[in-house]
């Protein structure tokens, strides 16, 4: 239990670092210096000190959304066995709760952006929901593959000790699930090639355009929640690729920290070698990722 | 060794998905060349021998399926200066989904089949999946060149099925098959080249002059 | 030594024809090889050679009949080619003769293969060697035709190969089933074959070779290809290629019958046969191009072939006999149309009138061909179609009634066009001259000798079957589970 709480504190603490690592990697690979690693921490600190301005067209939904988003992300974090053994809360079917907690966050954010009445934000919301409907399928197929491989329905089994024993016999399916999860990670957290967090043109944005009207602590909560979401998906990918069920819980946390750094660098590399996909091609890639995981499932059903 | 065979077979399925999901012709051709290479690696792995017969089969398959034909097709698209598939009759997303269904069906069927040895079940499943994916590409794509790639995929699937029966199907026949595929694709390539010269678009949606009126 | 010579001679000839530059030498070479090949086939009739290559290549009655049909039709076509190449030198003339000879070699391989793998290799080679011939005009329409032909046939033949492998898998059983895919061993051990795999193999082989045969609904390439190819190539395809594809299906039928799966495969054959007859009857009405008309007539006749196989009993005998009659009749009909196209430059029926006066020999041949193709007495096809119908009457009266009706419709469709072409008086052309009143065009002996000979053969087969032929036919029919009428 202690290690689980330590794990939760770890991801809460390092979450804002991950986008920084990705950004720095990308900057170095493209020959620039880039912002400091801790930039997101500075931004959050600054935003929390600011006041908020609300448009007169918005309602209570707009104010509620950032809080719900951040809380749902935190609750989701409690469901993942970060130390490789057990989560703070774990039960059969917690994977579904995890998915729907994240979906709830997305749902309120979409409602809040529609609440502003701005056509740009409406467009972003529409894209976000469209792509989410593809990523969720891919994510579920990857989870089904893991669940079949480990013969369990909870994160504790799928990412814990049973996974270690499943690896030798179900390696191909697990690798395919991991690859799908990485694609889902990029899509869910609005990274290149699905979305470009650095873009300045509203027409090409997906996630960023939805939060244009948020400011101050609200924006800080949204930024923090999306960084946390990135860290959570990264933790899942790491847990699948490097099963830590046999390690000492605290050693496992150290591995997790190293893994998060590696994922951050990997995202940076992907962002610097790939261009953003045309919007029409995004579903194609997501379906391909889903098909990959589905193939993993088929292999396990044999 | 068994793990290696499985890995190669799984990669073959992934190349199928690649062909189904891409709109870039050169990616298509590269995928099919890689598939040819994988098929070439299979005979020595499946039979666990480096006899002259298996090595000769492997080398000729690699030469034909992974080197000569893909290079020839690359030449054809360069001459015809086409790069992309135009939006096909069945979209890329739909054909990917169809491909996934095809793989599921193929694996399900292979389970039911009374097979000589259980170990061959994966190879049979992959071969059926490749045949169906080849048919999907053949029927859904509009560019003549992509159809040739679909035909190659179909042939690869059939060839793979033949490999599972390799002890029963003689060497001479397998070489004959390779030769036929080689000549067949060569002639198709030449026709594709002429289609391009005549119609300057290399799409068989233009090939509608002959029909019942 | 005869068996390897039958296969290798044409292939060596194909290489030889490519070497020489001068057209006259090439055509002479073509005729010499064709004559030699026919002579060798005659020799196999006298004494059947022993199997070679451990039974891979062997002669049986069915294969010999198909080989004879192919070789005879090829000889006629070769002689016709001499006249054709004098009148119209296709681009890539060297390839033309080479591809013809390669086709002969591949067809011989198909006829003589008792290993189904090598039969497949031969079958695929026939597709490939014919493709450049179809494409010889190098224009848009022939391009489209050859593309359709290549893609559809190649896919079909790939599916047939899959069927072949299924057959090899069916041979797996605890009991020894002999060498894989060797016909004799398959037949000897048929009861031990796995029925599930065998059924799958039968379906795939039927669809694969059925497409090559041109059974509806896989016939769509046929009108386009026959319509655009040079007439002599169309004739060779409708006669020789069809016979080879029939042999492929017949081999499958032999194995399935031996494995007591007749009840599975016969309804399939009857179904494909009836659908082909129906489609052909529907499209024979209202055609405009005489070559496309003949293509649909070919669909009708391949329908009859598989119908005969499926009906079994005397039907099998009728089907084998019909292979010969169909090849002869289609052969000279296409060659006669080829003469019309050479002389008048079109095969659109609406522009052709009064051919018996303009082209006396070819016009008369068209008329004879109409009678032969529609199964009128006293031509050979009357006999074979009658036998097939009788087989239907015995066991399946409804099939018999449907077939008779569809044949009658086909007759109307064909007669309407061909009689108009041969005897009709068309509208005057712009110079105010009746097309029918033109002076007769002189026809080259090279171009009419072959068709006339073939017409004589169909007539002869209708009134007299030589004893050796009867014996071979009976033997073939029995091997296909039939009886002798």
Interval C167-223: pLDDT, tens: 888 887 777 777 888 888 888 888 888 888 899 999 999 999 999 999 988 999 999
Reported as a pLDDT band with limits 50, 70 and 90, residue C302 is very high
The pLDDT value recorded for residue B118 is 55
Highest mean pLDDT among A176-185, A239-248, B177-186, B187-196: A176-185
C169 vs B: CB within 8 A: yes
| Mean pLDDT of the region C298-313 | 93
The pLDDT value recorded for residue A262 is 95
Q: Quick one: which of B102, B134, B109 has its CA closest to C155? A: B134
What CA–CA distance (Å, rounded) separates B195 from C147? 9
What CA–CA distance (Å, rounded) separates A87 from A160? 10
In SS3 terms, chain B reads as CHHHHHHHHHHHHHHHHHHHHCCEHHHHHHHHHHHHHHHHHHHHHHHCCCCHHHHHHHHHHHHHHHHHHHHHHHHHHHHHCCCECCCCCCCHHHHHHHHHHHHHHHHHHHHHCCCCCHHHHHHHHHHHHHHHHHHHHHHHCCEHHHHHHHHHHHHHHHHHHHHHCCCCCCHHHHHHHHHHHHHHHHHHHHHHHHHHHHHCCCECCCCCCCCCC
The pLDDT value recorded for residue A132 is 93
| Mean pLDDT of the region C443-470 | 90
Q: Count Cα neighbours of B64 within 13 Å in the Cβ-side half-sphere.
A: 24
The pLDDT value recorded for residue B78 is 82
Q: Quick one: which of A290, A284, A294 has its CA closest to B23? A: A284
Long-range contacts of B209-212 (CB under 8 A, 24+ apart): B209/C140, B209/C141, B209/C144, B210/C141, B210/C144, B210/C145, B210/C148, B210/C223, B210/C224, B210/C227, B210/C228, B212/C223, B212/C283
Does some domain include residue B212?
Answer: no
What CA–CA distance (Å, rounded) separates A63 from A59? 7
What CA–CA distance (Å, rounded) separates B5 from B13? 13
Rounded to the nearest 5°, which phi and psi values hold at C308? Answer: -60, -45
Which residues, 6+ apart, have CB-to-CB distance to C382 below 8 Å?
C375, C376, C462
What CA–CA distance (Å, rounded) separates C98 from C77? 14
Structural domain span for residue A47: 2-301
Which chains have at least 3 CB atom pairs separated by less than 8 Å from chain B? A, C
The pLDDT value recorded for residue C108 is 96
C126 vs B: CB within 8 A: no
pLDDT per position as a tens digit, C252-261: 999 999 999 9
- Is residue B21 over pLDDT 80? yes
The pLDDT value recorded for residue C92 is 53
pLDDT per position as a tens digit, A252-277: 999 999 999 999 999 999 999 988 88
The pLDDT value recorded for residue B166 is 64
Structural domain span for residue C458: 273-485
Measured CA distances, A67 to A72, A157, A219, B141 (Å): 8, 31, 10, 49
The pLDDT value recorded for residue C431 is 46
Note whether B165 contacts C169, CB cutoff 8 Å: yes
pLDDT per position as a tens digit, C54-95: 888 999 999 999 999 999 999 999 999 988 888 876 555 678
Helix (H, G, I), strand (E, B) or coil at A171: helix
pLDDT per position as a tens digit, A40-95: 999 999 999 998 888 888 999 999 999 999 999 999 999 999 988 888 998 999 99
What CA–CA distance (Å, rounded) separates C31 from C199? 44
* Chain B CB contacts of A284 below 8 Å: 21, 92-93, 96
Locate C72 and state its tokens: 């005879």
Q: How many domains does chain B have?
A: 1
Helix (H, G, I), strand (E, B) or coil at C347: coil
Reported as a pLDDT band with limits 50, 70 and 90, residue C119 is very high
What CA–CA distance (Å, rounded) separates C35 from C29? 10
DSSP assignment, residue A197?
T
Per the DSSP assignment, residues forming a β-bridge with C482 are C313
Reported as a pLDDT band with limits 50, 70 and 90, residue C106 is very high
The pLDDT value recorded for residue B121 is 81
Does some domain include residue B169?
Answer: yes
The pLDDT value recorded for residue B205 is 57
Per the DSSP assignment, residues forming a β-bridge with C182 are C115
CA angle, residues C326, C329, C330, in degrees to nearest 5: 80
A/B interface, count of CB pairs below 8 Å? 46
The pLDDT value recorded for residue C474 is 93
- Is residue C296 over pLDDT 80? yes
First to last CA, chain B: 59
- Is residue C432 over pLDDT 50? no
* Residue entry with tokens 């409907």: A133
C243 vs B: CB within 8 A: no
Q: Quick one: which of C308, C269, C298 has its CA closest to C410? A: C298
What CA–CA distance (Å, rounded) separates A172 from A179? 11
Chain B residues with at least one Cβ partner in C under 8 Å: 113-116, 131, 135, 138, 144, 147, 151, 154-155, 157-158, 161-162, 165, 168-170, 172-173, 176-177, 179-180, 183-184, 187-188, 191, 194-195, 198-199, 204, 207-210, 212-213
**Cα dihedral C338→C341→C344→C348 (10° resolution):** 130
Does some domain include residue B205?
Answer: no
| Mean pLDDT of the region B122-127 | 90
The pLDDT value recorded for residue B89 is 75
| Mean pLDDT of the region C371-379 | 88
Residues C63-91: b if buried by 16+ CB within 10 A, e if exposed: bbbbbbbbbbbbbbbbbbbbbbbeeeeee
CB C335 within 8 Å of CB C231: yes
A291 vs B: CB within 8 A: yes
Cis status, amide bond into A193, omega within 30 of 0: yes
CB C420 within 8 Å of CB C353: yes
Reported as a pLDDT band with limits 50, 70 and 90, residue C428 is very low
The average confidence (pLDDT) of chain C is 88
User: Angle at which helices B144-164 and B25-47 pack, to 10 degrees?
Assistant: 10
C31 vs B: CB within 8 A: no
CB C242 within 8 Å of CB C327: yes
A301 vs B: CB within 8 A: yes
Per the DSSP assignment, residues forming a β-bridge with B203 are B143
Note whether A291 contacts B99, CB cutoff 8 Å: yes
User: Which of A25-34, A158-167, B98-107, C14-23 has the lowest average pLDDT?
Assistant: C14-23
The pLDDT value recorded for residue A148 is 93
Locate C69 and state its tokens: 């049909």
C145 vs B: CB within 8 A: yes
Locate C258 and state its tokens: 């031996």
Locate C172 and state its tokens: 């797996």
- Is residue C423 over pLDDT 80? yes
B21 vs A: CB within 8 A: yes
In SS3 terms, A202-235 reads as HHHCCHHHHCCCCCHHHHHHHHHHHHHHHHHHHH
CB nearest B194 (choices: C115, C143, C148):
C143
pLDDT per position as a tens digit, A7-23: 999 999 999 999 999 99
Say if C and A touch: at least 3 Cβ pairs within 8 Å. Answer: no
Does some domain include residue C425?
Answer: yes
Cis status, amide bond into C217, omega within 30 of 0: yes
The average confidence (pLDDT) of chain B is 81
The pLDDT value recorded for residue C407 is 93
Helix (H, G, I), strand (E, B) or coil at A88: coil
* Chain C residues 388-407 within an 8 A CB cutoff of chain B: none
Helix (H, G, I), strand (E, B) or coil at C348: strand
Q: Quick one: which of C230, C386, C58, C151 has its CA closest to B137? A: C151
A284 vs B: CB within 8 A: yes
Does some domain include residue B204?
Answer: no
Interface mutation vs chain B, best among C140, C158, C179, C193, most B CBs within 10 Å: C158
DSSP assignment, residue C237?
I
C255 vs B: CB within 8 A: no
Q: How many domains does chain C have?
A: 1
Cβ atoms within 10 Å, residue C410: 27
Reported as a pLDDT band with limits 50, 70 and 90, residue B189 is confident
What CA–CA distance (Å, rounded) separates C435 from C437? 5
The pLDDT value recorded for residue B143 is 80
Note whether C118 contacts B176, CB cutoff 8 Å: yes
Q: Quick one: which of A187, A174, A158 has its CA closest to A81? A: A158
pLDDT per position as a tens digit, C355-373: 888 888 898 999 999 999 9
CB B49 within 8 Å of CB B8: no
Reported as a pLDDT band with limits 50, 70 and 90, residue B30 is very high
B41 vs A: CB within 8 A: no
The pLDDT value recorded for residue B145 is 83
CB B16 within 8 Å of CB B126: no
What CA–CA distance (Å, rounded) separates A95 from A232? 13
* H or E element in which residue C313 lies: none
Helix (H, G, I), strand (E, B) or coil at C378: coil
CB B184 within 8 Å of CB C130: no
Which residues, 6+ apart, have CB-to-CB distance to C256 below 8 Å?
C198, C202, C262, C264, C265
What CA–CA distance (Å, rounded) separates C323 from C166? 28
Note whether B191 contacts C127, CB cutoff 8 Å: no
Does some domain include residue B192?
Answer: yes
First to last CA, chain A: 38
First to last CA, chain C: 36
Q: How many domains does chain A have?
A: 1
What CA–CA distance (Å, rounded) separates A16 from A227? 6
DSSP assignment, residue A89?
S
Interface mutation vs chain A, best among B18, B92, B100, B125, most A CBs within 10 Å: B100
pLDDT per position as a tens digit, C322-352: 999 999 999 999 999 999 988 888 888 888 8
The pLDDT value recorded for residue C430 is 44
Does some domain include residue C284?
Answer: yes
Reported as a pLDDT band with limits 50, 70 and 90, residue B171 is low
Cβ atoms within 10 Å, residue B91: 15
Q: Quote the minimal CA–CA distance from B5 to chain A in Å.
A: 12
Locate C464 and state its tokens: 């007299």
Locate A228 and state its tokens: 């946390």
Cβ atoms within 10 Å, residue A272: 15
Q: Quick one: which of C42, C46, C34 has its CA closest to C68? A: C42
């Amino acid at each position: 239990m202690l290690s689980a709480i330590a794990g939760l504190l770890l991801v809460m603490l390092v979450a804002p670092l991950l986008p920084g690592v990705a950004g720095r990697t990308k900057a170095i690979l493209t020959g620039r210096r880039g912002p400091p690693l801790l930039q997101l921490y500075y931004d959050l600190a600054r935003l929390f000190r600011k006041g908020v301005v609300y448009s007169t067209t918005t309602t209570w939904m707009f104010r509620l959304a950032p809080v719900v988003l951040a809380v749902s992300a935190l609750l989701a974090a409690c469901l993942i066995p970060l130390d490789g053994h057990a989560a703070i809360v774990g039960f059969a079917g917690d994977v579904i709760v995890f998915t729907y907690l994240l979906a709830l966050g997305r749902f309120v954010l979409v409602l809040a952006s529609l609440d502003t009445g701005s056509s740009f934000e409406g467009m972003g919301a529409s894209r976000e929901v469209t792509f989410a409907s593809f990523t969720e399928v891919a994510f579920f197929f990857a989870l089904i593959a893991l669940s079949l491989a480990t013969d369990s329905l909870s994160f504790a089994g799928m990412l814990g000790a049973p996974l270690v024993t499943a690896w030798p016999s179900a390696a191909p399916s697990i690798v395919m699930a991991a690859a799908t999860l990485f694609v889902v990670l990029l899509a869910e957290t609005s990274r290149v090639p699905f979305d470009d967090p650095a873009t300045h043109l509203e027409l090409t944005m997906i996630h960023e355009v939805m939060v244009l009207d948020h400011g101050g602590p609200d924006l800080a909560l949204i930024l923090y929640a999306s960084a946390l979401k990135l860290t959570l998906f990264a933790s899942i990918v790491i847990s699948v690729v490097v099963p830590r069920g046999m390690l000492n819980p605290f050693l496992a946390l150290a591995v997790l920290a190293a893994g998060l750094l590696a994922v951050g660098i990997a995202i940076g590399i992907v962002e610097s070698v790939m261009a953003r996909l045309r919007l029409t091609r995004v579903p194609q890639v997501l379906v391909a990722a889903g098909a990959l995981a589905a193939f993993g499932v088929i292999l396990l059903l044999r | 060794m068994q793990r290696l065979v499985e890995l190669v077979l799984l990669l073959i399925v992934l190349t199928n998905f690649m062909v189904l999901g891409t709109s870039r012709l050169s990616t298509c051709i590269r995928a099919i060349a890689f598939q040819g290479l994988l098929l070439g690696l299979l005979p020595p792995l499946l039979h666990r021998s480096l006899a002259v017969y298996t090595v000769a089969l492997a080398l000729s398959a690699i030469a034909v399926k992974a080197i000569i034909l893909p290079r020839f097709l690359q030449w054809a698209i360069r001459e015809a200066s086409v790069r992309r598939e135009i939006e096909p009759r069945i979209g890329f997303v739909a054909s990917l989904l169809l491909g996934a269904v095809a793989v599921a069906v193929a694996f399900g069927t292979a389970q039911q089949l009374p097979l000589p040895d259980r170990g061959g079940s994966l190879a049979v499943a992959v071969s059926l999946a490749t045949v169906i994916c080849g048919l999907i590409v053949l029927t859904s794509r509009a560019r003549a060149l992509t159809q040739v790639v679909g035909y190659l995929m179909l042939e690869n699937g059939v060839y793979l099925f033949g490999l599972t029966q390799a002890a029963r199907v003689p060497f001479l026949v397998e070489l004959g098959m390779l030769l036929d595929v080689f000549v067949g694709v060569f002639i198709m390539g030449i026709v594709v080249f002429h289609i391009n010269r005549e119609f300057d678009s290399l799409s068989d949606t233009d090939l509608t002059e002959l029909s019942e009126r | 030594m005869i068996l390897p010579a039958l296969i290798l001679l044409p292939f060596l000839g194909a290489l030889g024809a490519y070497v020489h530059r001068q057209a006259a030498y090439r055509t002479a070479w073509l005729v010499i090889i064709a004559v030699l090949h026919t002579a060798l086939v005659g020799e196999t009739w006298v004494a059947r050679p022993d199997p070679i290559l451990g039974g891979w290549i062997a002669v049986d009655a069915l294969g010999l009949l198909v080989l004879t049909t192919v070789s005879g039709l090829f000889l006629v076509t070769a002689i016709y080619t001499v006249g054709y190449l004098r009148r119209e030198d296709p681009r890539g003339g060297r390839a033309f003769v080479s591809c013809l000879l390669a086709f002969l070699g591949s067809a011989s391989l198909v006829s003589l293969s008792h290993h189904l793998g090598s039969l497949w290799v031969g079958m695929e080679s026939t597709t490939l060697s014919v493709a450049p011939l179809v494409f010889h005009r190098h224009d848009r329409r022939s391009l489209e035709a050859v593309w359709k032909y290549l893609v559809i046939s190649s896919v079909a033949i790939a599916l047939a190969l899959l069927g072949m492998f299924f057959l090899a898998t069916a041979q797996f059983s605890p009991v020894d089933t002999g060498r894989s895919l060797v016909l004799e061993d398959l037949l000897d051990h048929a009861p031990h074959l796995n029925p599930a795999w065998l059924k799958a193999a039968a379906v795939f082989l039927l669809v694969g070779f059925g497409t090559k045969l041109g059974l509806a609904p896989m016939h769509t390439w046929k009108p386009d290809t026959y319509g655009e190819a040079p007439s002599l190539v169309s004739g060779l395809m409708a006669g020789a290629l069809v016979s080879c594809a029939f042999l492929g299906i017949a081999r499958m039928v032999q194995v399935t019958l031996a494995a007591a799966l007749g009840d599975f495969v016969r309804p399939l054959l009857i179904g494909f046969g009836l659908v082909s007859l129906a489609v052909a009857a529907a499209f024979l009405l209202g055609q405009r191009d005489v070559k496309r008309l003949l293509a649909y007539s070919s669909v009708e006749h391949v329908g009859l072939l598989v119908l005969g196989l499926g009906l079994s009993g005397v039907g099998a005998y009728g089907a084998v006999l019909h292979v010969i009659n169909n090849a002869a009749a289609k052969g000279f009909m296409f060659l006669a149309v080829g003469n019309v196209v050479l002389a008048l430059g079109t095969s659109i029926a609406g522009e052709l009138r009064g051919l018996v006066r303009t082209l006396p020999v070819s016009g008369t041949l068209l008329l004879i061909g109409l009678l032969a193709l529609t199964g009128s007495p006293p031509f050979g096809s009357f006999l074979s179609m009658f036998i097939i119908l009788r087989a239907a009457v015995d066991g399946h009266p409804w099939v018999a009634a449907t077939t008779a009706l569809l044949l009658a419709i086909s007759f109307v469709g064909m007669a309407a066009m061909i009689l108009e072409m041969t005897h009709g008086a068309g509208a005057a052309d712009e110079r105010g001259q009746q097309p029918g009143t033109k002076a007769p065009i002189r026809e080259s002996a090279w171009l009419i000798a072959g068709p006339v000979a073939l017409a004589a053969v169909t007539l002869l087969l209708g009134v007299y079957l030589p004893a050796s032929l009867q014996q071979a036919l009976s033997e073939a029919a029995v091997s296909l589970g039939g009886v002798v009428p």
